[in-house]
Amino acid sequence: MKSDLTQASAAELSALYRKGKASPVEALKAILARAEKINPTLNALCLIDAEPALKQAAASERRWKNGAALSALDGVPVSVKELVRVKGWPTLMGSKAVDPHQPWDEEAPSVRRLREAGAVIFAQSTSPEFGHKGVTDSPLRGVTRNPWNLDKTSGGSSGGAAAAVAARLGPLAVGTDGGGSIRLPASLCGIVGHKATFGRIAAWPPSVNGDLSNTGPMTRTVEDSALMMNVIAKADGRDPTSLPPDDTDYVKKIDGKLKKLKIGLVLKFGDHDLDPEVSALVTKAAKTFQKLGCDVEEATPDLGGVDGRKTFVIHWLCFVQRVLQMFPSERHQLLDPTLLAMARDGAKYSSADLVAAMADRRTLSLGWNRFFERYDLLLCPTVAVAAFDTGKMAPDQADGTPNQRWSPYTYHFNLSRHPSASVPCGLTRAGLPVGLMVTSGHYRDALVLRAAHHYQRAAPLKMPALPAT
């Protein structure tokens, strides 16, 4: 009796393939069967390309039989967010305004690397239009739901990817993160997501969001994120912001020692509400790190008086307003009204506002660099709340108005370019997952993953069969 292959991590699948106990075709078929059942409810995958994927899986099966697997990810099914190009698939960015009739003949670097490694690229996951918000719905795709509670949002913008991975529609997903879009849905869906140091994972075409944007892995285990990093953390000639290649073996590095790391715990990034349940779970996680031999203390970063939210919002809106120029005005009515409103707000800024925000960004980032001179790692909540109802852009406050500061953490490290991962650290009483964010100095991606890995082993989140019914 074969176990349910949809439950297996990529590392487990790889081991089964190697021993001949399961095949890539069987794994893919199990995932496709599951998708057929649950994706209509979740709306996490907007394109399932079964036939070519089965061909890729069959080719992988032959390689494993011949002892010629291309990598540990050979034959492992992976989904790709609809902001990332896959050859042959319309990459519509969640938008009705994007013309689907294009050649779609070039692939993003991360996808190309995964294909070279033999991974089976089987589905495209949903995103809000151009990834502009922290929840996943769009005029093109409708609402994506959280498998832990179908009334709740999966977060965004990689909400399709996070919902798919949590619901076991493939162990691996490629997401993107311009202000938290990998870590935020990972937190809300109880999975792992890593935003690498900017430039570590090459991207193409250049993002509308410039150097805030990152491609990265979304998985159920940290080990799987490390496996993906080994494949996608490469330079690419098409990305002029790629870092110099390094040959870090992330899988090897995650087992390294954790002891004696100096860790700063920061529960709040300023004047914002923090759900007491989130606060308690993150504090508990910090204690786990102490038990693992780390030196943990509460810390306060000195960010030079810069208002991080304002700095981020100006960058974000100014970038978003570019959609107004990308499409002729008669097509603007096709855009998500929330996107259009943000773009129009962005267009009100002057270039001097943006240049001043860029200067503030440098000051804020310098503050974090100095923090990471003192601490090897920063622990904080990934998001200030657990998942909230779909159909809203932000959760309600006690007085019924929207809480605009529900995600005050993640964007700091898009501004500052530091590596930052979210790892599940428990459930609220309502049974919704909460994420712990682990962040470190530039280029210390391996340390971030190592810490998250040790933590996940020490405090694994038991995942029920999802979606919950």
Give the interface size with other proteins as a residue count (CB under 8 A).
43
As annotated, the active-site residues are 81, 157, 181
DSSP state of 435: E
Interface with other proteins, residue 325, by CB under 8 A:
yes
Q: How many CB atoms lie within 10 A of CB 259?
A: 9
Q: Closest Cα to residue 420, out of 261, 241, 159, 198?
A: 198
Nearer to other proteins, 47 or 347 (CB): 347
Position among 66, 300, 329, 350 found at the interface with other proteins (CB under 8 A) = 350
What torsion do the CA atoms of 321, 324, 326, 329 make, to the nearest 10 degrees?
Answer: 180
Q: Where are the beta strands (DSSP E) in 104-230?
A: 120-125, 137-138, 142-143, 145-146, 149-153, 172-177, 192-195, 214-219
Task: Rule CB under 8 A: choose which of 267, 347, 394, 461 binds other proteins.
Answer: 347
Among 160, 346, 426, 435, indicate the residue that binds other proteins (CB under 8 A): 346
416 binds other proteins (CB under 8 A): yes
The span from the CA of 338 to the CA of 94, in Å, is 13
- Report the C-alpha gap between 367 and 388 in whole angstroms: 32
- Shortest distance, position 463 Cβ to other proteins, whole Å: 35
For other proteins, the binding residue among 15, 48, 334, 358 (CB under 8 A) is 358
The beta strand positions in 220-323, using DSSP E, are 262-265, 295-298
Q: What residue has token string 């430039």?
A: 199
Quote the tokens at residue 263.
């860790």
Distance CA 437, CA 252 (A): 22
What mask, x for binding other proteins by CB under 8 A, covers residues 280 to 299? --------------------
Task: Give me the least distance between CB of 140 and other proteins, in Å please.
Answer: 24
| Contact predicate 415/308, CB 8 Å | yes
- Residue 344 interacting with other proteins (CB under 8 A): no
Measured from the CB of residue 363, what is the shortest distance to other proteins in angstroms? 7
Q: How far is the CB of 352 from other proteins (least distance, A)?
A: 6
Q: Which stretch binds other proteins (CB under 8 A): 52-60, 150-158, 187-195, 369-377?
A: 369-377
Q: Which of 65, 252, 370, 392 binds other proteins (CB under 8 A)?
A: 370
User: What is the C-alpha to C-alpha distance for residues 296 and 378, in angstroms, rounded to an integer?
Assistant: 9
Does position 469 interact with other proteins (CB under 8 A)? The reply is: no
- Distance of closest approach, residue 415 Cβ to other proteins, in angstroms: 10
Task: Check binding of 359 to other proteins (CB under 8 A).
Answer: yes
Are 165 and 77 in contact by the 8 Å Cβ rule? The answer is no
Binding segment for other proteins among 60-68, 115-123, 268-276, 343-351 (CB under 8 A)?
343-351
Asked if 74 and 64 count as a contact pair (C-beta separation under 8 A), the reply is: yes
**Cα dihedral sign for 426, 226, 379, 439?**
negative
Q: How far is the CB of 21 from other proteins (least distance, A)?
A: 39
15, 58, 354, 394: residue in contact with other proteins (rule CB under 8 A): 354
What angle in degrees, to the nearest 10, is found between the helix axes of 308-320 and 351-374?
130
Which residue bears the tokens 């006690």? 398
Quick check: 236 and 243 in contact, CB under 8 A? no
356 binds other proteins (CB under 8 A): yes
Angle between helices 24-42 and 50-65 (to 10 degrees): 150
* Interface region with other proteins, contact rule CB under 8 A, candidates 132-140, 155-163, 328-336, 370-378: 370-378
Alpha-carbon span 215 to 213, nearest angstrom: 7
For residue 435, give the amino acid letter: G
The 147-186 contact track toward other proteins, x by CB under 8 A, reads: ----------------------------------------
How far, in Å, CA of 162 to CA of 445, rounded?
A: 21
Shortest separation between residue 450's beta carbon and other proteins, angstroms: 16
Among positions 134, 301, 441, 467, the unique one binding other proteins when judged by CB under 8 A: 441
CB of 355 to other proteins, least distance (A): 4
List of residues contacting other proteins (CB under 8 A): 204, 206, 210, 237-244, 246, 318-319, 321-322, 325, 346-347, 349-356, 358-359, 362-363, 365-366, 368-370, 372-373, 416-417, 441-443
